[in-house]
Amino acid sequence: MKMKGKAGRAAAIVGVVASVFLFYGMTIAAPPAPKTIKIGVSNCLTGGLAQAGKRVKQGYEIALKHINQDGGVYVKEFGKKIPLEIIMLDNETDATKGVARMEKLYSVDKVDVFLGGHNSALTIPQLAVAEKYRIPIIAPVMTSIAPFEKGYKFSFTPFYSERDQAAVMFDTLDTIPQNQRPNKIAYFEIQEEVGIGAGKYTKEIAAQKGYKIVTYESYAPAATDFSFLITKAKSAGAEILYTVPTPPQGARIIKQMKELDWAPTFIYMVRAVDDPTWATNLGKDGDYVCHSAGWDYHLKLPGVEKLNEDYKAAYGDYPQAPAGTAYATMQILADAIQRAGTLDKEKIRDAIAATNTMTVMGPMKFKPNGRGEGKYTNTMSQWQNGKVELVYPKEQASAPLAFPRPPWRR
């Protein structure tokens, strides 16, 4: 009996102690929350791509404002909302410096996740850094397909690919009545990955759809004279021009086309033409030129109107594509962190991979390789009367496609 009594008392004591630990364990279960969730960005704020990098920065800033004005992102692990903080370092439009900035963000700033800056060529080396440290990165401007064929697990982008970039040209051309539709293509290939990749898929899709590439010529990233390419395209009877020049090159190509009196009925230029200085530099000669930048502020999608209003109030104009895709990238990241419920980098990575959310780019998911699948990433815009209009897809268009491009005004 005494043994039973002692055993009973011991069990009672153990029960009390367990209850105390359970009580206090429940009250201190949530670890102390960080003041902010740190997001590292290596972006081009100076150098040749500074204007585009600035628009990426502005898109992030508006997204940060919208998320943080409600307290930030709820993280279950800490039982509260935590504000987002961006630590953005200038890579000076230099890929080597971009990698160095990524290393600092990891080792010194101790960021929780990465977001990308502008330009595929600058971002590709950054993906390798993110993979090395197993920290998720979402790149807002990334056409290149090649890095996503390396088996990377922590790299994502909602942006359209080189193939999408080529495909939307053909999709837009297919909206033109067949008896008016141009068929002969001149492709001017800038000798960068983005130009080489776009050319590869242009050949592939043209063959499938019955279009004819009548001239395919290359030019250097620093080229300033395009007269040979233009003369050859004119002699071949090309009706369509497709190229991916830098902003100065794009304006130069248009000026030399006018000088040499070559006026294809459909002009598609990626990259150069989404620069807001296009109309300032070229006036009416810049009209009719189409471009696709992965997003357009005319899209009738949830959140776009609010983005447009706040962006214009802050910066004096409507957002260009890099700002819109940067905003969407921040939406994707915030959604993933909340679903992960933790700042564990592996779990955030898994949550990004499982994304199925609405953004200003429309519904967004990711393929197993990390590239985005969005319904409205393939948009076509066109300069008309000195301003940009969305012309494809038709259900989202702000204006019909202006076609054909007339002869040059002299």
pLDDT digits (tens, 9 = 90+) for 153-210: 999 999 999 999 999 999 999 999 999 999 999 999 999 988 999 999 999 999 999 9
pLDDT band at 274 (very low <50, low <70, confident <90, very high): confident
pTM of the model: 0.89
CA distances from 336 to 193, 226, 332, 353 (A): 30, 46, 6, 9
Direct distance between the N- and C-terminal alpha carbons of the chain, in angstroms, rounded to an integer = 115
Q: What is the pLDDT of residue 200?
A: 96
Question: What letters, b where the CB count within 10 A reaches 16 and e where it falls short, cover 388-397?
Answer: bbbbbbeebb
Q: Between 332 and 8, whose confidence is greater?
A: 332
For residue 9, the model assigns a pLDDT of 53
Whether 120 has a pLDDT exceeding 50, the answer reads: yes
**Contact by Cβ (8 Å): 194, 143:** yes
The domains of the chain, with CATH numbers, are 37-160+298-374 (3.40.50.2300), 163-291+380-396 (3.40.50.2300)
Q: What is the mean pLDDT of the segment spanning 86-115?
A: 98
**For residue 373, which phi and psi values (nearest 5 degrees)?**
-120, 100
Contact 302, 121 (CB under 8 A): no
Compute, in degrees rounded to 10, the torsion defined by CA atoms 257, 263, 266, 268: 0
- Residue percentage of the chain with pLDDT more than 90: 84
Does the pLDDT at position 51 exceed 60?
Answer: yes
**Count of CB atoms situated within 10 Å of the CB of 180:** 9
> What does R_g of the chain's alpha carbons equal in angstroms?
26
What pLDDT does 80 receive? 97
> Residue 31: pLDDT band by 50, 70, 90 thresholds?
confident
As a whole number of angstroms, the distance between CA 224 and CA 227 comes to: 9
Q: With cut-offs at 50, 70 and 90, classify the pLDDT of residue 410.
A: low
pLDDT for 24 equals 45
Least confident of 14-18, 313-317, 365-369: 14-18
Model confidence at 3: pLDDT above 60:
no
Q: Does residue 10 carry a pLDDT above 70?
A: no
* pLDDT higher than threshold 90 for residue 54: yes
pLDDT > 50? residue 373? yes
Return d(Cα 18, Cα 7) in angstroms, integer. Answer: 16
In the numeric block, which tokens belong to residue 96?
A: 């080597």
Q: What is the mean pLDDT of residues 361-378?
A: 92
Q: Inform me whether the pLDDT recorded for 82 exceeds 60.
A: yes
pLDDT, position 2: 43
